[in-house]
Chain A
Amino acid sequence: MRAAPAGRREWIKAALLILIFAALISNMALWEALLRFLFPGEKDVLYPQADLTQLVGEHLALVLISSALAIIVGLGIGIFVTRPAGKDFLRIANDLSSLGQTFPPVAVLALAVPLLGFGFKPTVTALFIYSVLPILRNTIAGLETVPQDSIEAAYGMGMSKSQVLARVELPLALQVILAGIRVSVVVNIGTATIGVVVGAGGLGSPIISGLVRGNPAFVLEGALAAALLALLADFLIGKVEHSLSWSR
């Protein structure tokens, strides 16, 4: 795989964007000025219980843990069901991953609470279950689109099963798999805002608080920060996707 000539500049750009995001999030004075300008009638325009840095930190913890688990499990199951040993489960996995998308995340959360109680764990579980599905679906799709003759040639040249997987199948499926991960993580950042209803904190806190108190400034504070975080994640994973792809 060749690195694009402009590769280094791209990574500097990515690092710069992370810094800008961090600077925006930690500058509460700026947020106050913006929200006061938009909502001059409100007494308080900033969510009082926690500042954005803390909320983003909580939010990231939810997203990173659930997404990491989802990537490991989604890839693992996707690889397993496309092997000869697991092909009996391919249809179930396919059906589940399509069906799961029709299931609202709040419902997953509602089901997780009676089992796991309130707080961080049920939220991570619900988010994990929800994010694993697009990754699983794209892993299967990606592996199934690998040209059959490439696989035959690989075996014919004397690669073992694991070498065929690592050197031929996964590299060829990577773009599709990464696209699945990107969608999953971005959706996960949005979905994680509902974690607050079971006490997991995060950027959902100002949103729910704002809804309850009728304060649109709080709602916007949380929503805007979550949107920025989602855009940043989308951009960064897109960069990884681009740098690892072989087709130009």
Chain B
Amino acid sequence: MIELLSVSKKYGDAFAVKDISMVIGKGELCVLIGPSGCGKSTTLKMINRMIEPSSGDILIDSESAATFRPELLRRRIGYVIQSVGLFPHMTVEENIAVVPRLLKWERSRVAARIAELLELVKLDPLKYREKYPAELSGGEAQRVGVARALAADPPILLMDEPFGAIDPLSRERLQYEFVKIQKELGKTVVFVTHDIDEAIRIADKIAILRAGELVQYDTPENILAAPANKFVHDFVGIDRALKRLSRFKVGKLMRPTTSIAIANRLTSLDELRKKGRFSWVTDENMRLQGWVELTKIATEKELKEALTELDADVVSAHVDTSLKNALSKMLEHGVKTLAVVDENTRLTGEIRMEDIVDFTDGGDST
């Protein structure tokens, strides 16, 4: 856990960071975000004392950071910077081994750890161990950067725009993989970025800074639902309702649904008609086949004729599809309801546009 208590940093008479107080819980991924010069990097660097605060205190697991020798403090806190900062004269393994060696680990333990970390960041140890940073792509280099920061298994990671210089496609993959690793290892992460989409994608909590002051500190869902002021409102963008939907999964709004098995007798047709005009159609294993308009059928023969077939891989959602993507699919295919299927395309429920709209309204009013 990291606690910032009225932390300020002054250069001359100007405040770079002004009276920031916040608590970052253990295992949380906290994103510091704001426009250039808002003090986000300064705040980050005060945590490992690359910059000394002018006033206030920073507690790490209830102990003041100021009581440690900076070098010893930093060996317990992983640090990743935008330019990666891999040492060009050291191989990948030597780069990763830097902190373990500072901590005087045994040689065999260091070697085992290097292999483990390279596997973790999805780089083949045999292929990458001996490479020099100049031989790596931007994405590979940043993977090594993350592995290096994790080398001595520090409970806290500080990351200063780590994926900023990477192409958008690799960046998204890195973000996804990083969040997975972070959750698996339970690391507390403070992450600086200026990219609001990145923040919304990865953050447990977002701290929005402006001119050295903390403007709003909350979950992404709450910030998007209720920006504290016009600055935050503008900063998160006009599509904040959509961005907010990206934070929720279809499972949250999924309804149970009814279906007709294509081979079954239509005994309960009248029952079904009472519930609505349409019904999903599945095979005998509940795999989604399509839908029918119930008013058009009376016999088994008519069911097959009236069936509108659906490709379940394309026109359906999963419980862990984001609401934003579900809505996007509805718009793309011109439908107001999507079937929700499991990984074997078995029907598990449905998601309706009206529910998403209601959910968005409800969120905005809170």
Contacts and interface: CB of A to CB of B under 8 A. Distances in A.
Contact of B87 (A156, A160, A168): A168
Contacts of A163: 102
A159 B71 contact: yes
A142 to B, nearest CB: 12
Interface stretch (A21-29, A63-71, A146-154): A146-154
A156 B81 contact: yes
A2 B129 CA distance: 13
Most chain A CB atoms below 10 A, which of B87, B88, B99, B158:
B87
B98 A157 contact: yes
A147 B72 CA distance: 24
Interface residues of B, number: 28
Contact of B89 (A1, A156, A159): A1
A1 B83 CA distance: 23
B72 to A, nearest CB: 7
- For chain A, the bracket of interface size reads 20 to 34
A155 interface: yes
A39 interface: no
A48 interface: no
A1 B134 CA distance: 14
A157 B99 CA distance: 7
Nearest to B72: A158
A154 B130 CA distance: 20
A2 B72 CA distance: 30
B235 interface: no
A246 B102 CA distance: 22
B50 interface: yes
Given A149-B83, A158-B76, 6 more contacts: A1-B89, A150-B87, A153-B84, A157-B148, A168-B89, A246-B89
Nearest to B95: A153
Given A157-B74, A158-B74, A159-B71, A152 B50 contact: yes
A100 interface: no
B15 interface: no
A153 B73 contact: no
B89 A171 contact: yes
Contact of A160 (B71, B89, B132): B71
A152 B89 contact: no
Interface string A1-22: 1100000000000000000000
Interface string B93-106: 00000110010000
Given A149-B84, A247-B134, A157 B89 contact: no
Contacts of A171: 89
A147 B134 CA distance: 13
Interface in A140-191: 147, 149-150, 152-160, 163, 167-168, 171-172
Interface string B37-72: 000000000001010000000000000000000111
25 contacts: A2-B91, A2-B130, A147-B83, A147-B88, A149-B81, A149-B83, A149-B85, A153-B79, A153-B87, A154-B87, A154-B98, A156-B79, A157-B75, A157-B79, A158-B72, A158-B74, A158-B76, A159-B98, A159-B102, A167-B98, A168-B89, A172-B88, A172-B89, A247-B88, A247-B132
A2 B91 CA distance: 9
Nearest to A155: B50
Given A147-B88, A153-B87, A246 B81 contact: no
B162 to A, nearest CB: 12
B86 interface: yes
B340 to A, nearest CB: 46
Contacts of A154: 85, 87, 98
A158 B71 contact: yes
A1 B99 CA distance: 18
B53 to A, nearest CB: 17
Nearest to A160: B71
A2 to B, nearest CB: 8
Most chain A CB atoms below 10 A, which of B79, B99, B158:
B79
A156 B83 contact: no
Contact of B99 (A150, A158, A168, A247): A158
B48 A156 contact: yes
Contacts of B83: 147, 149
B325 to A, nearest CB: 37
Contact of A158 (B75, B89, B134): B75
A153 B102 contact: no
A153 B89 contact: no
A221 B87 CA distance: 49
A152 B145 CA distance: 13
Nearest to B134: A247
B86 A156 contact: no
A156 B98 contact: no
Contact of B88 (A2, A150, A160): A150
B71 to A, nearest CB: 5
A147 B102 CA distance: 21
Contacts of B98: 154, 157, 159, 167
Contacts of B85: 147, 149-150, 152-154, 156
Contacts of A160: 71
Interface in A109-156: 147, 149-150, 152-156
A151 to B, nearest CB: 8
B97 to A, nearest CB: 11
A13 to B, nearest CB: 25
A160 to B, nearest CB: 5
A157 B73 CA distance: 9
A15 to B, nearest CB: 27
A152 B84 CA distance: 10
